[in-house]
Amino acid sequence: MTDEANGGTNGAADPQQEQQGLRMNILAQFTRDMSFENNVATKGVQTSDIQPEMQVQVSLDAKKRNAEHQYEVITKFKITANNKSDGATLYLLELDYGGIFHVEGVPEDQLHPFLLIECPRQLFPFVRRIVSDVTRDGGFPPFNLEIVDFVALYRNELARRQQTEAPTTV
């Protein structure tokens, strides 16, 4: 009996065939909101005294659109650079970057994590470029965001929600 008689996989399911039903396309990308506050320029901080300490906060949002199989996913980044020596804020960058996705073939019970993990992962390189360009154009060294672990971010948010929903005992 040849391997071809069993579909070429010795009876095991072919991962490519299983994923043929999955379809994801980025239909559009956009900056929903962006703000860059350069406190060095507005307050006249001495540039020789600058030692930035970075803080990055990330949040995600996803919602169904009116069109069939379409979802809007927004990644929100809040990046604060504080001066190590005195704690003064050097700059604050807030960016809400979104994408419109066509998603088919994802089981309903896996759709929520898919939208909040895979879709932001597709948007991330564009967010990283915007952050780098804006910080550089703002007079600072370009800030290159570290890779975001969207799986860990999703799990942490689920754990946080479970803790807030858990009944308290007296």
Over the stretch 32-63, which tens digit does the pLDDT of each residue have? 999 999 988 777 666 566 778 999 999 999 99
Q: Which pTM was predicted?
A: 0.80
DSSP designation for 45: -
Q: In this prediction, what percent of the chain has a pLDDT beyond 70? A: 81
- Give the orientation angle of helix 108-137 with respect to helix 150-165, to 10 degrees: 120
Strands (E), the chain: 23-38, 52-64, 70-83, 89-104
Residues 6+ apart with CB under 8 A from 68: none
